Structure 1
C-alpha cells in the first residue's frame, strides 16, 4: 500500500453492523474517503437530512459527507480501494447484482458478514473469491467479539481482522482502531469466518434452552461443549493449528451466546418459548444469521460425516420441526 495516499473505503450495507462500522471508521483519525451503499433511497434522503440511520442505531450521528451516500452499488465499489461487505449473507448476491470481477480488480475486499450464503452453501469469502476472482491474499474477514449496540455506546470492543496476508490485515485494521476499538490480526481467515457462522448456531441453541427455562449452570456446560464442537469442525475442514480460546473464536461465541444484544440468542429464545420459525422471523426486525447457517452447516456435517450434537439439535428443531423439549433433553444426556 502506498504511503501518504488518501484511501477510499466503501461500506456495502445499511443495517446496524454496517452503521456501527461507519461510526468506527469516522471516529478513526486516519485520513480516508468513505462511500456508503444504502439500499433504500428514502433512507439515503433521511441520512442526508438528519445524519442518522432511520432504522438501525438511530442514535448514532452519521458524519459521512452527503455526496458519498448512494443507492448505486457500482458507484460505491468502483470508487473504492477497500470494499467492506456488510449485508446479511442471504442478501449479498442481490446487493452485488450487476457487478463483475473487473469492479473488484485491484481492491481489498473485506467480509464483515457473519453468515453463510444459503443458495450457494458457501461462506462469503469463498463466494467472493469464486464469483469475482478476488485473490485470497486480498480477501479479509472481520471477527468479533463486537456488538453494534455497544459500539454505538463507545464501549471498549475488539475486532479481529483475518487474511492470508497479515500485512493486508494490519493495514485495514489501522482504519478501524480508535479510542474504543482495539484490533487483532490473524492469518486464519477461513477459521474465523466458519467460527462466526457456527457461533450463531450455538447462540440459537443457547436461546432455545433459555426459552425453555434452562439456567446458567446448563448454559455454561452447553457453551463449553460448543467451543469443543467448533474446534472439531474447523480441524476437520483444514487441520490448521489455531488457538480456539482466542477472542475471534471463544470470545465471539461467548458474547453471541450470552448478550442481550444477540439476535440469534433472541431468535432461539422465541423458539424455546414455542414460537414457530415463521412467527419468530416476522416478529424480529433483524436477520438471525444462525437460522440460514444451520441448514447449510448441516450439509457440510453430512458431507464430512461429523458428529456435532449441538448443531444437530438446532437443525432438528428449526428444519425438521422436532420437539425442542425432546431434542434438548436428548442433547443434555450427551453433554459433559
Structure 2
C-alpha cells in the first residue's frame, strides 16, 4: 500500500465539504472535485463553500480544487465519492481515466438507480475495482456537526483492514473518532436503509404522531434493517453497533436530518415534487425507498416500514391511511 497516498474528494455538497474539512486536519494537500466552477472560485477567495456548511473555513493553500473530474482522478491514489447516488452515474460517465487500480471509498448513502447496486458493488462490477480496494465511510455523523467541530464518530469499512486504518488515520482528529469494520456490504446497506426509516419518522411526525410512536418506529426499524441486510449479505454482525443503530438514530431524530425533514413535509401534505423543490439538499431516502422495495421483492424480508414509505412516495397513497395501517403491523 502507498505510504503517503494522495486523496481526493468528489462532490460539492455538505458531506463532501465535511470530509474535506476532516482531511485538511491531517494532510497538507487535499484534492476536491466539484462541478460548479463558480463555487470553486468563491472558495478560493472566501475560504468556505458558498452553498453548504458555510461555517467550515478552509486553508485554501491545502486545497487542489478542480471542476475537471479526470484531473483529480489522475492526481489521487484514494478517491472518496460523496455525490448523491441519483447523480453519481452522470459524473462517473465523465471519467476517461482507468480507475480499476484506485482505492475507492464511498460516502454515499444510497443505491445507484441505473444499476440497482450499492455504490461499492457498482464500482466493483462496472469499473472492475477489486473488492479489497473498496471501502465505505459511514456515521453516525451529521456534516453540520463536523463543521461546528462537535464530537462525532465514524466507521470506516473495508475488507482490507489496512486500508480502513489508513483512511481512519487521515480522518481522525480531536473531534472525529473512528473505528474500522470489514462489513463493507452491511454498513453500506445500513447507510442506505436508515434514510428510508428517517423519512418514515418524519412522515409520522408530520401526521401528528408523538415521541411514543417515534420510539416504536425506531425500534422496529432496526429489526427490519437486520432482516433486510441478512437477506442480502449474511455474516456475523452486531446490528446495535454505531454504524447501524447509531446512524439510524441520529438520522431519525436529528433536526439536521434532511430525510426526516422531507418526510415531515410529506406528512404535512406536501407532494413529493413540492417537498423536493422546497429543500435545497437531496433526500437520499426518496431514491433509496424505490431501490430497497424492488430489491426486497426478490429477497422477501418482512419490511412493513419500507413498504409504507414506498406506498406513500411512489404509489401516491394517502399517508394518513398508510400509517394508520402501519400502526397495526408494528410492535
Short-chain TM bin: over 0.9
Which residue of structure 2 lines up, in the alignment, with residue 23 of structure 1? Answer: 21
Question: Are residues 1:162 and 2:157 paired?
Answer: yes
Cα offsets for 1:258-301 (capped at 9, x unmatched)? 00000000000000000000000000000000000001111111
Contact 2:28 2:62 in 1 (8 A): no
Which residue of structure 2 lines up, in the alignment, with residue 199 of structure 1? Answer: 194
Match of 1:38 among 34, 40, 55: 34
Cα distance in 2, alignment partners of residues 257 and 223 from structure 1: 7
Contact 1:160 1:183 in 2 (8 A): yes
Shift of 1:67: 6.7
Cα distance in 2, alignment partners of residues 213 and 289 from structure 1: 24
Match of 1:57 among 39, 53, 57: 53
Cα distance in 2, alignment partners of residues 281 and 235 from structure 1: 32
* 4+ residue runs over 3 A deviation: none
SS in 2 for 1:146: coil
More divergent stretch after superposition (61-70 vs 230-239)? 61-70
SS in 2 for 1:333: helix
Shift of 1:70: 0.4
Cα distance in 2, alignment partners of residues 49 and 64 from structure 1: 9
Q: Evaluate the alpha carbon distance shift between residue 326 and residue 137 of structure 1 in structure 2; reply closer, same or farther with a 3 A threshold.
A: same
Cα offsets for 1:52-78 (capped at 9, x unmatched)? 111001121122437710000000111
**Consecutive unaligned residues in structure 1, runs of 5 or more:** none
Cα offsets for 1:108-149 (capped at 9, x unmatched)? 110000111122211111111111111000000011000000
Shift of 1:32: 4.7
Which residue of structure 2 lines up, in the alignment, with residue 73 of structure 1? Answer: 69
Match of 1:294 among 289, 307, 320: 289
Shift of 1:2: 4.1
Cα distance in 2, alignment partners of residues 161 and 32 from structure 1: 22
Counting matched residue pairs gives: 331
Contact 1:157 1:182 in 2 (8 A): yes
Which residue of structure 1 lines up, in the alignment, with residue 12 of structure 2? Answer: 14
Match of 1:262 among 226, 246, 257: 257
**Consecutive unaligned residues in structure 2, runs of 5 or more:** none
What TM-score does the superposition give when structure 1 sets the normalisation length? 0.96
Cα distance in 2, alignment partners of residues 69 and 202 from structure 1: 35
What TM-score does the superposition give when structure 2 sets the normalisation length? 0.98
SS in 2 for 1:65: helix
